[in-house]
A and B are shown apart, each in its own frame.
Chain A
Amino acid sequence: MKTFKIITALTLVSSLFVACKKETEEDHDHTTPVATTPVVTTPVATTGGLTFKFTNSVGVKPMVLNTDSYVNNTDSFTVSTFNYFISNIKLTATDGTVFSETESYHLLKADDAASLQFSFANVPVKNYSSITFTIGVDSLRNVSGAQTGALDPASGMFWTWNSGYIMAKFEGYSPKSTNTTKLVEFHLGGFKGTNSVLKTVTLPLTTNATITGTITPVVEINADLAEWFAPNAISFAMTSSVTMPGAMAKKIADNYANMFTVTKVTN
């Protein structure tokens, strides 16, 4: 009972405190415009925005899902799914400083145009000359339980029977596939040991992205699926399904580390 009284008293006191604090803040907000003297010079922006636009291709041909046909060596194929994670994006400025996006996880899906474009706010005003990111989801988030947002396991990019993210996924059809449905499926993941598929890449920007605070530069990056199949030669007749971590997933990841290119920077 005594404890209850003390708790009640504390609660009351803290409510009063909160109430007071709130009032002060509100008052402050209300009075600010009145109290401020007119500013003569416009304040210099210290940060600004930056937009990324991703496109997908197979070699030089733009990727069109389901309908268009492509060739891997001599194997013709179509693409029905092309998804990949990008995480821990960093921008390096010409003065050597690095801007890192916080909670930096992005799931890009070829069938979801909205997922292929995203923006940063509050990037320090500087000239940026390169971008660094990890293809996939860093190992920590593979072992940290239920995630949300881009990392929501409901996205179909999480293995339920062998916990971990599918870092990149390509599905399509090829007459060369040994599956009865002619399906080709590469679900590439694995974050542990020698067969980890995690790749961190640094791409030079074609021209510096200049953050001024007034204009939002657009950095365009292309992902080329053809890069998945070389230099480690991957033929669909030999390899139609890769759906678990292992040496084959690693081999393809060694290939796809080269799939991204910055194609254009618009300031």
Chain B
Amino acid sequence: MKNLSKYITLCICSAILFNACKKKEDAPIVVEPPIYSITPIIPSGWPQPVYNYASNTLSDAGFKLGRKLFYDVRLSSDNSISCGSCHQQFAGFANSAHGFSHGVNNTLGTRNAPALFNLNWHPSFMWDGGVNHIEVLPLAPITNPVEMGENMNSVIAKLSTDNAYRQLFTDAFGDNTINSQRIFRALAQFQGMLVSYNSKYDKHARGESDGVFTTSEETGLTIFTAKCASCHTPPLFTDFSFRNNGLSYNTALKDSGRAKVTGLTTDSHKFKVPSLRNINVTAPYMHDGRFTSLAQCLNHYATGVQHTQNLDTLLTNGIPLTAQDQLDLTNFLKTLTDNVFMKDERFKDPN
């Protein structure tokens, strides 16, 4: 009996030891992958963001819920379109190859879907700045009849029948209540995490070994700093202002831009200065997607600026750019492409 109990004790001890060893060996596999390490990012040298999750504590669970919502077609009236339909990761979360995106019931929008990244730094959203907060941003496309054509009460009703969502809301907010505030805050957590700061330009600025510029890129940067940076101000490559950049007025669209929001004629033809980060993958360009290439954009500034009402004073004479300048600028603009961002596993459709 004594021997037996000794034997058992020994067995247990060995098992414990064995397990302990085994655990140690397996440790790297057991560790939660960094994909779910969600913490606010403020790249060094950047200004403080406008949105800092003050009343919306950022968490892995909140981010995961936001990501599922972002890619969920149930946010549209006929369950056909998700946020991700028109904001594609490989295109810097813009809509690749679409001047205007397709909405429900074969409708078409009237403005180019903007790229989504570094949103926490935006003081306002949309081409006319009409949306004043990242949390209420999704309300516009969800309820727009030519986009997702849905209402929030219907979205909530649809999601409420899904037990998986109930669990995700519990994980993120402590109980399984589904309401518009929680939907918007989860979406803000996901969209706020879309921070693009690892382009070749960033590596160059940080003095990293794979950030060495070619002569043309260096020249492009010099031209950019002299002729473009006053509006497309680094590190965000926009000053978030509203300006008329001299595009001819599209009489079919009759889009007065910023004036639509402010009601001021002095704001007619003005649109938000977009960030130029990831510009090489977000074509087509401008608020109405009229240009399909960077060459067309640069050519517009060099030779195509129209003297319409409220033309920005910086563009009175256009921006003089030789063919070589345009080539060097294009090479520089391509250094703003952030492939780390566009391949980030955390931002992919989880479904």
Residues of A within 8 A of B (CB): 142-148, 152-154, 158, 160-164, 244-246
In the complex formed, the residue of B with least CB distance to A244 is: B263
In the complex formed, the residue of B with least CB distance to A147 is: B181
Q: Which of B56, B136, B260 has the most C-beta atoms of chain A within 10 angstroms of its own C-beta? A: B136
Report the minimum CB–CB distance from A162 to chain B (whole Å).
4
Name B139's contact: one of A160, A244, A246 (CB within 8 Å): A160
Cα distance, A244 to B134, chains bound together (Å)? 21
Q: Does B346 reach chain A (CB closer than 8 Å)?
A: no
If A153-B152, A158-B139, A160-B139 touch, whether A146 touches B130 (CB-CB below 8 Å) is: no
Cβ B263 vs Cβ A152 within 8 A: no
Within residues 110 to 166 of chain B, which ones have a CB less than 8 A from any CB in chain A?
126, 130-136, 139-140, 143-144, 151-153, 156
Residues of B within 8 A of A (CB): 55-56, 126, 130-136, 139-140, 143-144, 151-153, 156, 179-181, 184-185, 188, 260-261, 263
Cβ A145 vs Cβ B136 within 8 A: yes
In the complex formed, the residue of B with least CB distance to A151 is: B181
In the complex formed, the residue of A with least CB distance to B132 is: A163
In the complex formed, the residue of A with least CB distance to B124 is: A163
Cβ A146 vs Cβ B181 within 8 A: yes
The 7 closest A-B pairs by CB, nearest first: A145-B135, A154-B152, A146-B184, A163-B132, A146-B135, A148-B181, A145-B133
The interface residues of chain A lying within 8 Å CB-to-CB of B143 are 160
Report the minimum CB–CB distance from A148 to chain B (whole Å).
4
Cβ A152 vs Cβ B181 within 8 A: yes
Report the minimum CB–CB distance from A246 to chain B (whole Å).
5
Name B130's contact: one of A142, A144, A154, A163 (CB within 8 Å): A163
Q: By DSSP majority rule, is chain A's interface helix, strand, loop, or mixed?
A: loop
Cβ A154 vs Cβ B153 within 8 A: yes
Q: Which of B130, B140, B143, B181 has the most C-beta atoms of chain A within 10 angstroms of its own C-beta? A: B181
Report the minimum CB–CB distance from B173 to chain A (whole Å).
11
Cα distance, A153 to B56, chains bound together (Å)? 17
If A145-B184, A160-B143 touch, whether A153 touches B136 (CB-CB below 8 Å) is: yes
Given A146-B133, A152-B181: 8 more A-B contacts, CB < 8 Å: A154-B156, A154-B180, A158-B136, A160-B136, A161-B126, A161-B131, A163-B136, A245-B263
Cα distance, A146 to B62, chains bound together (Å)? 15
The interface residues of chain A lying within 8 Å CB-to-CB of B181 are 146-148, 152
Cβ B134 vs Cβ A145 within 8 A: yes
In the complex formed, the residue of B with least CB distance to A154 is: B152
Report the minimum CB–CB distance from A58 to chain B (whole Å).
29
Cβ B139 vs Cβ A152 within 8 A: no
Report the minimum CB–CB distance from A124 to chain B (whole Å).
30
Cα distance, A246 to B264, chains bound together (Å)? 10
The interface residues of chain A lying within 8 Å CB-to-CB of B55 are 144-145
Report the minimum CB–CB distance from A1 to chain B (whole Å).
9
Q: Which of A145, A147, A153, A158 has the most C-beta atoms of chain B within 10 angstroms of its own C-beta? A: A145
Report the minimum CB–CB distance from A25 to chain B (whole Å).
21
Cβ B133 vs Cβ A144 within 8 A: yes
In the complex formed, the residue of A with least CB distance to B27 is: A1
Cβ A163 vs Cβ B144 within 8 A: no
The interface residues of chain A lying within 8 Å CB-to-CB of B131 are 160-161, 163
If A145-B55, A145-B133 touch, whether A152 touches B188 (CB-CB below 8 Å) is: no
Report the minimum CB–CB distance from B137 to chain A (whole Å).
9
The interface residues of chain B lying within 8 Å CB-to-CB of A143 are 132-133
The interface residues of chain B lying within 8 Å CB-to-CB of A162 are 130, 260-261
Cα distance, A154 to B178, chains bound together (Å)? 13
The interface residues of chain B lying within 8 Å CB-to-CB of A164 are 132
Cβ B144 vs Cβ A160 within 8 A: yes
Report the minimum CB–CB distance from B188 to chain A (whole Å).
7
If A146-B185, A160-B144, A246-B263 touch, whether A152 touches B179 (CB-CB below 8 Å) is: yes
**Can you spell out 7 A-B residue pairs with CB atoms less than 8 angstroms apart?**
A144-B55, A145-B134, A145-B184, A146-B133, A146-B184, A161-B140, A162-B261
Report the minimum CB–CB distance from B180 to chain A (whole Å).
5
The interface residues of chain B lying within 8 Å CB-to-CB of A144 are 55, 133
Cβ B261 vs Cβ A146 within 8 A: no
Report the minimum CB–CB distance from A189 to chain B (whole Å).
12
The interface residues of chain A lying within 8 Å CB-to-CB of B133 are 143-146, 163
The interface residues of chain B lying within 8 Å CB-to-CB of A246 are 263
The interface residues of chain A lying within 8 Å CB-to-CB of B152 are 152-154
